[in-house]
Structure 1
């Protein structure tokens, strides 16, 4: 609640995957949510879901690659729901293919959605938040902003760019002593419908690489990050290992991913010739938060829990350390007394 009214939250990419799970999470907390995505039918399905969960929603068909549409959506949100408290940039597109098999226009499209979409969303949000000197922008990023992998050069490049752009804007807000907050989430692989509809030149069905999580884990992280003052939140052990590995053993990772990254992102299932692609147009159908890989997807992240509770963990660790130090001193004193007596 903000000043006795429900929080006004904008979620891009709101009809499927992480965005849809975030919609559900905020709806359970009674938020007023603006749903931004391209598919009209799924927008209406998400809006109905919000109302069933106790929130309020408006559905705004929006292509995040088009700044004029994003700005018009932001204007409508404030007119119909009120001042925006939280803006969540999540919309994305990707292509799973070797770099030399990607057409230039397709590469640009991924960049326009996954990078420029975040820029336009941030621009529209700051235009309204800065004069009020309050608000939070959540950038749903990826561990791939630190450590790129094969077959996803457009997506990895866009996530690297998003991180750099966000850090630059954050320093400008710091310079102006603005209370508007920007936070980046470094996500691991997540079981979302992107693997069912992303454009690809591969022979076999794409899948998340390595250990991956259910979208509800990401949604909990988004909700928590939107109400904390962290600059960055790492979600999942794979993200943490990618960040650490890139810092200390980048060349080893190059060789490892060259050996495992191609097979590691494909199942044994051949791709049918009529496989849909959502790169330029939304793919119709009852897609929601989960993708096709429920089996094997993790439902909890110990690393996220530790990050959310680090203050208590540090306090408990300090208390334990002081207790052990006290015990050690007492034991040493007893030994000295015993030695003196003998």
Structure 2
């Protein structure tokens, strides 16, 4: 039986061992989808694989550094051989440095760019190598509000996320030109309560934190799964802060420059002063063999939102539009009487 593009039997998630990738894996597993888990950390991969099995689905954990194209390509071949044709590929893996640009060493900036940007490029290339001959499949790029609005102390991450947007737009145009049924969409995220604030390289004087308001990873995961089902949309914006950030930067970018210069340092730090140059996962995973499983959630659950009304409305635009029309008709009827 011919499958349409929404049917997913085999999915690939990069950055699957923790954070948004881990939360996405859990949701996909609940749908009975076989999942290839790509990440560097063995402890996180093993724990994620066990969660997939517990949900009644089949995992294939593979240790992969997405910055290395050959490793990603080899993983793609193994996935097709062991799980079957890839229907969905989610590019979520990233790494970065919390520091000013001048405090970020050139080799660190390059490495963060290779993992975050080129990791997405490599994943997209391998996914297309398998999907285009079948003329079937969906690629979801995990973006950010920071893909449109850079903020201080995250120059490497912001630059990489900006690059992913331009790259994805170019690829989408090429697929449209070819008349391909392979779809590529993006999901742009707000600040999220993930373990990245515990394991990224940081030279901040205090503990790094997401800029409030903060959302739980499950909010991001729901949006990614929804995008996989409706990939004809170019992009999804998750959370009202993402909407306001992207639209605000279109209208008053200079004002945001000054606002972030004043507030961007303090809003990304919390707690008392701590020692500088703490270990990070830029060069090697902190959840390696025998290491700690960081899971999906970070340290900010007491301040995080588990739902986003804006994200729900974005995924259900027809329902929202119908509700607005009915409300408008109700107001008109009331005014007539």
Question: Contact (CA 8 Å) 1:91, 1:117: kept in 2 or not?
Answer: yes
- Structure 1 ranges of 4+ moved more than 3 A: 1-6, 272-275, 319-328
Distance 1:293 1:323, change over 3 A: closer
Which runs of 5 or more residues in structure 2 are unaligned? none
Provide the C-alpha distance between the structure 2 equivalents of 1:240 and 1:3, rounded to a whole number of angstroms.
34
Paired position in structure 2 for 1:183: 185
Is the CA contact (8 Å cut-off) linking 1:89 and 1:139 kept in structure 2?
yes
Residue deviations 1:257-288 (CA, integer Å, cap 9, x gap): 00000111011233346832100000031210
Question: What's the TM-score, normalizing by structure 1?
Answer: 0.93
8 Å CA contact 1:192–1:289 kept in 2: the answer is yes
Aligned to 2:294: 287
* TM-score where L is the length of structure 2: 0.94
Q: Distance in 2 between matches of 1:325 and 1:212?
A: 38
TM-superposed CA distance for 1:320, in Å, is 3.9
Counterpart Cα distance in 2 of 1:217 and 1:304? 8
CA distance in 2, matches of 1:247, 1:138: 24
Matching residue of 2:66: 64
The two structures, once aligned, show a CA RMSD in angstroms of 1.8
**Aligned position for 2:138:** 136
Contact 1:183 1:232 in 2 (8 A): yes
Distance (whole Å) between structure 1 residues aligned to residue 95 and residue 283 of structure 2: 9
Of structures 1 and 2, the larger Rg is shown by 1
Determine the structure 2 residue equivalent to 1:42. 44
Distance 2:53 2:63 in 1: 18
User: Gapped runs of 5+ residues in structure 1?
Assistant: 332-342
Alignment match, 1:203: 205
SS at 1:289's partner residue?
coil
Count of paired positions: 330
Question: In structure 2, which of residues 103, 110, 113 is the aligned counterpart of residue 111 of structure 1?
Answer: 113
Partners of 1:22 and 1:215 lie apart in 2 by 8
Mapped pair 1:307 → 2:314:
yes
From 260, 268, 284, the equivalent of 1:265 is 268
Q: Offset of 1:294 from its aligned partner?
A: 1.0
Deviation of 1:3 (Å): 5.3
1:2, distance to aligned residue in structure 2 (A):
8.4
